[in-house]
């Protein structure tokens, strides 16, 4: 396996571009043998401390503290909602040009619902000449998504809630459209990517933006859909 791509590092923090399909850390319910936390630790030769999470199928910016105090300080910024998060997502259908989704979510059965807010802006659309269900063509939107809260699977659940599920989502998505992307475009992944994290550095106070550009597979897909540059910057 190749090394993780490091997109930022200083004496307190390190950020990587997490590959799609890779768990952040080892869990009891997974038989995976490759994890971001352990691989990064071995790659740089020192312990790293998790600050936030990305779902296994989601790619993009993932930051760790290089010591427990650094991690604690940045976790505090996440908890205070002082970290701005930006994602790119490909969803089924033509969405509104922009909207705010305010819909409480339940992280686990039996637990109370928690407030959850996601804003999005439509960057591009495409209509593909493939029939799905009773429709002769298939329509999709490229979105810039900015979650204000950080609930489990928040973006995926919110997109399902407004009937525009993310392509490739096998839990909250639409199986027919997922299959279309596999059969016609050779895309087997969740089309959700964490492109930016922005916050004031906990030690220096200076604004810091961590960015991961779409990988080769995503860029090729965007080109095939006619989205050559939309939303990449």
Bridge partners, residue 142, by sequence: 90, 124
Task: For residue 88, list its beta bridge partners.
Answer: 144, 193
96 burial (CB, 10 Å; 0-12 / 13-18 / 19+) is exposed
Is pTM beyond 0.75? Reply is yes
Domain ranges of the chain: 5-224
H/E stretch holding 207 reads: strand 207-211
Rounded Cα distance, 53 and 72, in Å: 14
CATH number of the structural domain 5-224: 3.30.2350.10
Distance of CA 65 to the CA centre of its chain: 20
> How much is the pLDDT for 33?
62
- Active-site residue list: 55
Residue 170, classed as helix, strand or coil, is: coil
Token pair recorded at residue 142: 């490229």
Distance CA(145)–CA(88), nearest Å, equals 6
- Distance separating the N- and C-terminal Cα atoms of the chain: 29
Burial of 16 (0-12, 13-18, 19+ CB in 10 A): buried
User: What's the confidence (pLDDT) of residue 26?
Assistant: 64
Each of the 233 residues of the chain gets a pLDDT tens digit; together they read 579 999 999 999 999 999 999 998 766 555 556 789 999 999 999 999 999 999 999 999 999 999 999 999 999 999 999 999 999 999 999 999 999 999 999 887 788 999 999 999 999 999 999 998 888 999 999 999 999 999 989 999 999 999 999 999 999 999 999 999 999 999 999 999 999 999 999 999 999 999 999 988 999 999 999 997 544 55
Contact 97, 122 (CB under 8 A): yes
């Amino acid at each position: 396996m190749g090394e993780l791509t490091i997109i930022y590092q200083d004496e307190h923090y390190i950020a990587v571009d997490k590959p799609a399909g890779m768990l952040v850390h080892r869990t009891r319910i997974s038989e995976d043998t490759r994890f971001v936390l352990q691989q990064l630790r071995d790659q740089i030769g020192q312990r790293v401390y998790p600050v936030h999470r990305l779902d296994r199928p989601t790619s993009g910016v993932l930051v760790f503290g290089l010591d427990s105090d650094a991690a604690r300080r940045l976790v505090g910024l996440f908890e205070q909602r002082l970290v701005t998060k930006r994602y790119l997502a490909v969803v089924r259908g033509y969405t509104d040009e922009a909207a705010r989704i305010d819909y409480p979510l339940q992280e686990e059965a039996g637990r109370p619902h928690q407030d959850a807010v996601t804003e999005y802006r439509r960057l591009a659309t495409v209509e593909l000449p493939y029939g799905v269900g009773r429709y002769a063509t298939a329509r999709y939107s490229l979105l810039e998504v900015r979650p204000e809260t950080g609930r489990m699977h928040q973006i995926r659940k919110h997109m399902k809630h407004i009937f525009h599920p993310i392509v490739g989502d096998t839990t909250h998505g639409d199986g027919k459209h997922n299959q279309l992307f596999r059969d016609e475009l050779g895309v087997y992944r969740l089309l959700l990517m964490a492109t930016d994290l922005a916050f004031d550095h906990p030690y220096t106070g200076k604004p810091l933006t961590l960015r991961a550009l779409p990988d080769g597979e995503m860029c090729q897909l965007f080109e095939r859909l006619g989205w050559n540059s939309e939303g990449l910057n």
